[in-house]
Every structure is written in C-alpha cells, then in structure tokens.
Amino acid sequence: MKRRRPFLCCTAKLPLLSLRSGGARKGVISLETRAGFLISHIKQVQGRVFDRLLQTCGVDEFNGPQGHILYVLWKSEGIPIVELAQKTGLAKNTLTAMLCRMEENGLICREISASDRRQSIISLTPKARALEKRYNQVSQQMNSLFFKDFEKEEIKELEQYYGVALFDRIGKRLKITEAGHRFFEYSVHITSMFDDMEKGMKDWDSFGIIRIGASITIGSQFLPYYVKAFYNRYPGTEVKVTISPSEQLEQKILNNELDFILIEGISHTPAFVSEEYMEDSLTVICPANSGFYPGQLLSVEEFRQQKFLLREHGSGTREIFEQVVEAAGFSVSPVWEAMSTTALVNAVISGLGIAVLPHRMVIGPIERGLVVAVHVKGLSFKRKFHIVYHKEKFLTSSAKAFIDLCRNYDMDYPLPQYNGLY
C-alpha cells in the first residue's frame, strides 16, 4: 500500500463526506484539494450532527463547541485559560467569548491564580460536573456515526496505516476501540482548528495581532499603561511589543516586522508617516551636594564645561539633546554613553557628571534629593512623541484603535510617572 501523509489520510476518510458520489470520481482530484474540501465539509456536518444528538438526548445546557471545552475540563479541571486554549485548539479571543457565555449559563467559574495573579483559572461548577455522564452518552453515539459511512476496506486501510485497531470485530458487529475514540478526538480537533482559522481570518481586521515598537523611554514609561488600557477595551486582541532604540525600530518598519512604532523625535525616512501625538520635556540633572542647587540657572558656558552622561546615538533623547546644543553653537563629547536611563541616573548620583533625561523618569530621584534639577539659560529641551508607520502599510482596525488610544491617553487617563529604583 502506498503510504500517504497522515493528515491527508485522516481527512480523506472522515464520515459522511465521501466523494464517491456524483462526478467527483470522473476527474482527477489532488489529495490536497480533496483534503481541503473534506475538512470544510466535516466542520459543517460534525457540528450539526453533534448539536442534533444533544437535542435528542435532552441536553440543552450547552452546545457542541461548548461541550468540547467541558470535555477538556472534565479531564483536567482547574487550569489556566492559556492551557485551556492549547488543549481545545481555540484562539484566546474565541475561547474567551465562549467562556463568558458558559459562565452566564452557570457551567464554569473563574478564579485568580494564587501563584500568578495575572492568570485566570477555569473550573467547572457542580451543574457542569453533573452533565458529564449525559455528554459521554452523546459522544458515544457520535463516535458510532463518525465511522458509519466507512467501507470495510477504508477502515482496514486506516488500521494498517496507523498500526492499531479502530474496531473490535465481534461477530457481525463492530465496537469502537480506545484507539478509535482517539482517532475521533484528533479529527474533532482538526475541525476545531479549521473553524478557529475561519473565524480568526475573517475577524483578523478586528482581533488580529498588533506588532508595536517603542523607543526605550516610551517603552518603559508609557507603553505598559497603553497596552493595559487597550486590553481592557479589546480583550480579544494580542499585542506584541519590541523595545529598541529608534533607529532599530525604523529598520524593523522597513522590514515589515512591526506595524507601527512610538518614538521620541521625528522620523526622517521619506517612506514613513510621522504623526505627533504628545509633547514631553527633558530635564538637566546634576549630582546633589556638589555645588548645584534645585532650580539653579546655568549659563550656556557653565553648561558646556560639564562632564556629560548621555543616552546612546540613535535614541530620541540623544537626538533632541544634540539638536538643542548644536542650535546653541556647540557640540558635546560625553564621558559616558548608555542605553539605560537607570545607569545614567546612578552615574549622576555618584558624581560622575550631569545628564539630560526625560523629566518623568527622573521625578523619583529628584524628589528623594538624590539628584538636583537645574536649568540652562536660553535652552529648552522640549521634545515630541511621534507615531510612525510606513505609508504603504495597511493598518487594521485594531492598530488604528491602539493609535487612537495613544493620541487621547493623556485626556482619558492620568499620565504615568516613573519612579524606578536607581
């Protein structure tokens, strides 16, 4: 017997879906084409049949898809929603919507994990536990129907391929084996994945993955609050975040690795749209107890004579700093460069020089008297945050919703203040 790929062999032999009728046999149909047709048909038939069996047995507490979730929970109750999604083959957004309906019907309950408060644990109610026996009866009937239209040769071919018996032959009757049950479970899983694929692709514009890049400052100071607020509004959407220097983020936009980015300063790439969405300021901080006092006004000459501790080249903070000092007619060669704001603040605290950093990120050490904020006569370190994306990039509804949240965040929510440890 010619060995075929397991997936195609499996899908080509599912019940009620034979192509032997009509004119299908007259032409040559590839296994790939046939398998695709069968999977689509299986999805429709399997769902309708199972729901009909539930009705026949007087089970109206749940439908077929919900029964699949209950089946998993009967086997391993009290599991995180992420694990439940994996075991059912359902996308998180699809599963979340179904669990909401099941919770309303008194079938499941959710609890916050004691070990990880970010996780929800899904458990069965007594009502759902009492339904397991009736579900098993329906499932047994479904198993029998599943293999109903198989010919003996087809069953034999499957058994030979997998090397297991799907049925016990007792006289003229066939009784499904444990391996047959497992084969059925795998087939249901395939149809569930197909159904999820259909829903996921059709709803991609609303519930797809958003790939966001953010500069280090925005990524550490603002983005966690943006994402949290977005999840509260759109729990079915997944957000993937990359935090890197601005130059690296722009390259990822060009490589189509990100949908849009949030950076300080403006992008100078002609192919990009760069939209201003918020204004921020940088603050000059100096070591405490080293001749500086809060609010001191330095002359430009006094300022340029200092030892500078600056962010790395390519960062938005560094770009704003250099624009301001170049406009004032001088340049700076720092004694210390770092991607970490914390490292720079600690260096200032240690008396190694002065730094120009985002104001909100140095509020904590200023208030604790670890550093001193000063001003420079005639110099203003203002900067603007920008949303940047490629001109030819199609932005989904989810991406547009996130961008809109960023635009209006300061009106809808209090702006965060970073008080990290230094």
| pTM for this entry | 0.46
List, in order, residues 6 or more apart from 242 with CB less than 8 Å away.
211, 212, 213, 214, 249, 252, 257, 258
Of 367, 332, 330, 337, nearest to 352 by C-alpha is 337
d(CA 262, CA 341): 18
What average pLDDT does this structure show over 63-72? 76
Instruction: Report the mean per-residue pLDDT for the chain.
Output: 76
Other residues' Cβ atoms within 10 Å of the Cβ of residue 155: 17
So what's the pLDDT on residue 20? 35
Sign of the C-alpha dihedral computed for residues 407, 408, 410 and 413 taken in this order: negative
- The answer to whether the CB of 384 falls within 8 A of the CB of 215 is no
7-44 pLDDT, tens digit each:
333 433 333 333 333 344 444 445 444 445 545 555 55
188-200 pLDDT, tens digit each:
656 555 555 665 5
Name all domains of the chain by residue range, CATH numbers in brackets: 6-58+135-200 (no CATH), 77-130 (1.10.10.10), 207-275+384-412 (3.40.190.10), 280-382 (3.40.190.10)
